Structure 1
């Protein structure tokens, strides 16, 4: 967060300071009347003159600022806090909270703001005690809608899912991750509400429905001066000038604050801090098979009926092993990884199978149980670090957030841990880099920072979803080497989701090739890459860049969508070796030899078919 521009800060501070200091400035009594000096011009004793009752205009301006600004600040702040809370809850939690927040505000919006204020004040009577709740109600829908719209635009970003992966609860995500990203629009709305509150208070006081006389108010002063403006026009000028300058200063201040909370505005920034360190408990140590997925089937309801983008998937991973899940986009790789983390979208559900992480069936855990696992025993690195990292927080703060989600450390110990993690993932000058924002780092550095967040609590299982996407070849090799080194240092198992077979050759021990939601080939990585038994695997190999520089062979067609799967072998429409028998029935996943399995009825015939091996 940058330092706001000093001019609007100083202007608002002067107005507020003068209003607060009114009792200590030695001003005349704002209600004391001197009928003999009605509408007297400015003088040494009365710098701005006297009004229609002989009261000191300067004193009434200062005391009137106290009334106008206190009503505006109280009503705008109350509307901001309540509206932001309702918008956050409605946008992030959805369902009942969304219905209550939006439909309730629709009812309020049915009434024009001024008419609503007039109605309530007329029924309950004028006065400050009535004005504050009335103006709060008037401004509430604006804050709810701004916060709700902001949540909808932010909650789909990967860095929100990353916080869920870390095991953070809903309240923590809303306050620590989402709220800072929507603070700018809320501040703008606050500026508008505060300025509008000053105007509405003045308007209601002008009509005799606001601050009650003889208490001073800018609206009362304007109303009284209207009848005497022909004889004493300055009496109308002073409160109008004070009102206009105050509104301009408030808008300028909030615009400056809006710019200050945007990390892209300036090169040197400090993060704004909200609630922090709401840590769930540590997960007890467990032993056994690291990851076992058995017959996993995921279903999604659609207007045309349910679809199954992942069907009958079984995978096993041991400690210090790397399992590569390979396939084109739409094969179900990422959805399988999200299922392991318990992060399936609301429309998706597991209808069959089980997922065991260290002897715990995560499909049977509630959200609290999943949060204890995420970020501590299992972690996930997403494919796009620029969207996965929170843009308004320093890199170091985001790593510290991962630590604090599962353990309590002192500030000094946390900083030492953050610097050590950045150093471990190969980021130079880690003490300085931890104060950088995500957009200030290169793509490779951002991915290293994401890996540091993933390993912050020494997880036993790491899921890396396309970790080298959009990186050049040199940086890809560095990231893969880093993952391989960390795997051995921590003794953790890693699931590598990728579409690149060269990546598999670099790092994987086991490989599972997925196509259209199901596994079509599975086995030892070296064996599968050297002797593919399924035409799809062979086609992926041919489509990889060749060592001799020749053009790769593309795979004709596209992956079929889950609602339009072809009969028989799903790859048959794109396969150069397909026969009528391939389209007759869905082939099972059969064991060929030494744990090498394939879903091709002609695998034994195709073993001798030559294919260009693009991967060593």
Structure 2
């Protein structure tokens, strides 16, 4: 909350100054005095006069009134309409989802200036037209933010509890869902206001916004352009006012984002002020995630009702990094990977969440587009290479088939490239091995063939599901070295699903610990392994053999998906459990980490 004080005070001062403009002892901002045009200073005019002899200070303050009125009005309209559409789309899905999301996509297809030109041509310039244009421009942002948050919230237990009480849908949306998504919507509103001030000034500068003689910062900059050599300060003052206002608002946006993030989960990426004012002008220090999964939930239909093997899973992996997902069998690791790849069986479906690959939501793509990504930009290595390789085809032909499925090359060229791939993954005598059948190869060789198929089309993301299962230590080390080498050479991002914490410690940058369908801890490998915060993570680390010490087993087993215990799902097996653990658990921010334990501060 301390971060809100300075930017909040700055924005409040600017808004208050604009509101009090009519009662402040200021000269008339539209009154002309040609005899004193371009005067540097006059009594009562500390900033001088413009090209028509109008008081510059008065016009800056009245210009703030015009700019902020347009910005707040347009952001409020976009917020009201966009949040309503996002609520309906995320809750009812179906036709409402199609209408809201596709409408937002259509608006995003229009470049802002061209859309403004179109609307101004039809309706004529003016404040009302400007508010309409900006409302349309910022509508898709509110629709998308609200839609994504509702998808994440609708599957939560507290929403299901209200539905079980028989509450009507309007009450659920207004009293349960909306308060829980208010934080991101508020941040989006502050971003829209800040951006609208800039766009309003730009459109007014072009003659498409506020109509003279109404004061506006954009009109002042436009007027100062013709007198830059005679009175350069006349251009400086409105530019300085615009810059200070935008920086204050962007600082407030950053502080608001941190203040409203109470639930944990994946935070919105931090944006610098310059990125909001002039996006793309300077490269960011930290690259955007290659794959970003948020709130992923999977349901499986059974005769006894739907079960949920994956619930509210979130993580991100960047290019050139390895993210490990660990946990006992039945934790939901493999189903998470198959859901991201779009390979779930017909009885299973994703009911909430998003999985963005390079900005595109994989879960929302048509099957044809997902098929083009699978084996191309995104590849997967499955657990059992013997069952993944076709027993009646030679391994070289199967690698060549993976190449020809995504590239237009001849059969001979594909076969030659398959041999080169087998050589690259460390298979001796690749020409002879390419003519072999899967049963003629060892387990380690079969796994290397699977990796050769996965990297055949130079993927940007590799999902490896237990790539070293049932392999001896020497072969396991070779496979891991190969993956690390490919990652360094190509900048490929890797999602590694494994039971082995030793493998994680050796190869991964970040780790996600899953238990009973949920993420229970997430952070860098160094931090999580050095100071685990969740009792389950502690138990997993204690179960790893180390030296002569006898490993500690974890009592009990992972519960079935149709019999999750109330509150903390690890509580029945946890030696730290207390009655307070029967409460619902949420991911909490613990420094740079996330942990799903109500007692993590006591155990840290």
The two structures have a TM-score, normalised by structure 2, of: 0.52
Map of 2:587 onto structure 1: 589
Aligned 1:326-405 pairs, distance under 5 A:
326-405=326-405
Mapped to 1, the partners of 2:476 and 2:552 lie a distance apart of: 22
* Partner-residue secondary structure (3-state), 2:297: strand
Q: Offset of 1:346 from its aligned partner? A: 0.5
1:599 pairs with 2:596: yes
Mapped to 2, the partners of 1:529 and 1:564 lie a distance apart of: 30
Map of 1:564 onto structure 2: 563
Aligned 1:293-312 pairs, distance under 5 A:
293-312=293-312
Mapped to 1, the partners of 2:350 and 2:362 lie a distance apart of: 11
Aligned 1:462-611 pairs, distance under 5 A:
462-546=462-546, 548-583=547-582, 585-593=583-591, 595-607=592-604
User: Structure 1, residues 154-205: CA drift from partner, whole Å, max 9, x if none?
Assistant: xxxxxxxxxxxxxxxxxxxxxxxxxxxxxxxxxxxxxxxxxxxxxxxxxxxx
Kindly tell me the number of residue pairs found equivalent between the two proteins.
Answer: 318
Mapped to 2, the partners of 1:462 and 1:365 lie a distance apart of: 19
- 459-468 or 416-425, which moves further after superposition? 416-425
Aligned 1:106-505 pairs, distance under 5 A:
289-505=289-505
* Partner-residue secondary structure (3-state), 2:296: strand
Aligned-residue CA RMSD (Å): 1.2
Mapped to 1, the partners of 2:551 and 2:361 lie a distance apart of: 42
Mapped to 2, the partners of 1:330 and 1:406 lie a distance apart of: 34
Q: Offset of 1:581 from its aligned partner? A: 0.7
Note if contact 2:327-2:514 (Cα within 8 Å) is conserved in structure 1: yes
Q: Offset of 1:450 from its aligned partner? A: 0.5
Mapped to 2, the partners of 1:315 and 1:573 lie a distance apart of: 26
Q: Offset of 1:549 from its aligned partner? A: 3.2
Mapped to 2, the partners of 1:299 and 1:345 lie a distance apart of: 11
Q: Offset of 1:288 from its aligned partner? A: 5.3
* Partner-residue secondary structure (3-state), 1:462: strand
Mapped to 2, the partners of 1:478 and 1:506 lie a distance apart of: 13
Mapped to 2, the partners of 1:395 and 1:288 lie a distance apart of: 37
Mapped to 2, the partners of 1:310 and 1:410 lie a distance apart of: 42
Q: Offset of 1:499 from its aligned partner? A: 1.3
Q: Offset of 1:423 from its aligned partner? A: 1.2
Mapped to 2, the partners of 1:461 and 1:475 lie a distance apart of: 23
Mapped to 2, the partners of 1:471 and 1:399 lie a distance apart of: 22
Q: Offset of 1:424 from its aligned partner? A: 1.1
* Partner-residue secondary structure (3-state), 2:421: helix
Q: Offset of 1:544 from its aligned partner? A: 1.3
User: Structure 1, residues 416-464: CA drift from partner, whole Å, max 9, x if none?
Assistant: 2111111111111111111111111111111111000000000011000
Q: Offset of 1:306 from its aligned partner? A: 1.4
User: Structure 1, residues 284-335: CA drift from partner, whole Å, max 9, x if none?
Assistant: xxx9531011111111122222111111111111101100000001100000
* Partner-residue secondary structure (3-state), 1:459: coil
Q: Offset of 1:604 from its aligned partner? A: 1.9
CA 1:288–1:409 in 2, change beyond 3 Å: closer, same or farther? Answer: farther
User: Structure 1, residues 511-542: CA drift from partner, whole Å, max 9, x if none?
Assistant: 00000000000000111111111010110111
Mapped to 1, the partners of 2:357 and 2:571 lie a distance apart of: 35
Q: Offset of 1:358 from its aligned partner? A: 1.4
Mapped to 1, the partners of 2:548 and 2:470 lie a distance apart of: 21
Mapped to 2, the partners of 1:356 and 1:446 lie a distance apart of: 31
Q: Offset of 1:550 from its aligned partner? A: 3.0
Map of 2:40 onto structure 1: none
* Partner-residue secondary structure (3-state), 2:589: strand
* Partner-residue secondary structure (3-state), 1:380: strand
User: Structure 1, residues 119-138: CA drift from partner, whole Å, max 9, x if none?
Assistant: xxxxxxxxxxxxxxxxxxxx
Runs of 4+ in 1 over 3 A off after TM superposition: none
Mapped to 1, the partners of 2:323 and 2:572 lie a distance apart of: 28
Q: Offset of 1:403 from its aligned partner? A: 0.2
- 369-378 or 598-607, which moves further after superposition? 598-607
Mapped to 2, the partners of 1:549 and 1:428 lie a distance apart of: 37
Q: Offset of 1:578 from its aligned partner? A: 0.7
The two structures have a TM-score, normalised by structure 1, of: 0.51
* Partner-residue secondary structure (3-state), 1:557: coil
Note if contact 2:330-2:558 (Cα within 8 Å) is conserved in structure 1: yes
Mapped to 1, the partners of 2:548 and 2:412 lie a distance apart of: 52
Note if contact 2:400-2:411 (Cα within 8 Å) is conserved in structure 1: no
